[in-house]
Amino acid sequence: MGLPLVLDQGACRIYQVSADGFLGFCQRTGASPTGVIVTFVTQDVDEWHMQLAARGAVFEKTPAFNPDYNIYHCFLRDPNGYLLEIQRFCDPAWPQP
């Protein structure tokens, strides 16, 4: 996703996702992507979709509105098979940047 790597601990890598937000990924023997969804919340779902698709990412679900959760989102898998969701909350009560 082009996030800046801020700490590389070998088996664990920490990326910066905002001015004060970080996301870590760690490799563990026996870990499985089954049942795991990593969700990135952004106001720019379409922009992320466009950027990642241009880099060759294959989306399992292109951006669409989900009325059950009142979100706009899309899905793709990372190279290890983990399901990634990029979403925007459409609820006006959700804090805006």
pLDDT in tens, 52-93: 999 999 999 999 999 988 999 999 999 888 889 999 989 888
CA of 18: how far to CAs of 30, 41, 57, in Å?
Answer: 30, 11, 22
Find tokens 């992507």 and name the residue.
33
C-beta of residue 16 within 8 angstroms of C-beta of residue 3: yes
pLDDT band at 35 (very low <50, low <70, confident <90, very high): confident
Delineate the domains of the chain, giving CATH numbers in brackets. Answer: 1-29 (no CATH), 32-97 (3.30.720.110)
pTM for the full model?
Answer: 0.76
Residue length, the chain? 97
List all residues 6 or more positions away from 48 whose beta carbon is below 8 Å from its beta carbon. 1, 40, 42, 74, 86
pLDDT band at 7 (very low <50, low <70, confident <90, very high): confident
